Amino acid sequence: MRLIPEKHRLVLIFSLSLILFLGYSVFEERGFVKLHHMKVQRDNLQDRVRALEEQNARLAEEIRLLSDDPQTLEAIARIELGLVKPGETVFILPETPAENP
C-alpha cells in the first residue's frame, strides 16, 4: 500500500478544508446566496416604501385641496356628479356626430 507524502497530505487537507469552508459560506443559512437574496428583497421593499410615500403625499395633497379649496370641490361636483349651478344651462352633445343620410 502506497502512502501519501506528508507535503501532499497537508495540501489535500487544506484543499478539502477550504472547499468545505467555501461551500458552507455560500450555501448555509447566512451565506452569500442568502445575503444576496436578502439585499434584493430589501431593495424591492425600499422601492415599494418610496412608491407608497409618494402615493401618501399625493393623497394628502388631495385631502388638503378638498378641505381648503372650494374650486376643487366645485370641479369635482361638476365633473363626477354632473351638478350645475342654478341658472346655468347644460348642453349635452352626442359623443360621435350623427351621420348625414
Q: Greatest CA separation found in the chain? A: 113
Task: Identify the top-confidence range among 3-12, 43-52, 69-78, 90-99.
Answer: 43-52
Q: Which residues contact 48 (CB under 8 A, 6 or more apart)?
A: none
pLDDT (0 to 100) of residue 1: 47
pLDDT at 82: 83
Quick check: pTM over 0.85?
A: no
Note the pLDDT of residue 54.
Answer: 97
The C-alpha atoms of residue 10 and residue 14 are separated, in whole angstroms, by 6
Q: For 7-58, what is each residue's pLDDT tens digit?
A: 777 888 888 888 887 777 766 777 777 788 889 999 999 999 999 999 999 9
3-state secondary structure of 78: helix
pLDDT range class, residue 2, cuts 50, 70, 90: low
Q: Has residue 64 got a pLDDT over 70?
A: yes
Flag whether pLDDT at 65 surpasses 50. yes
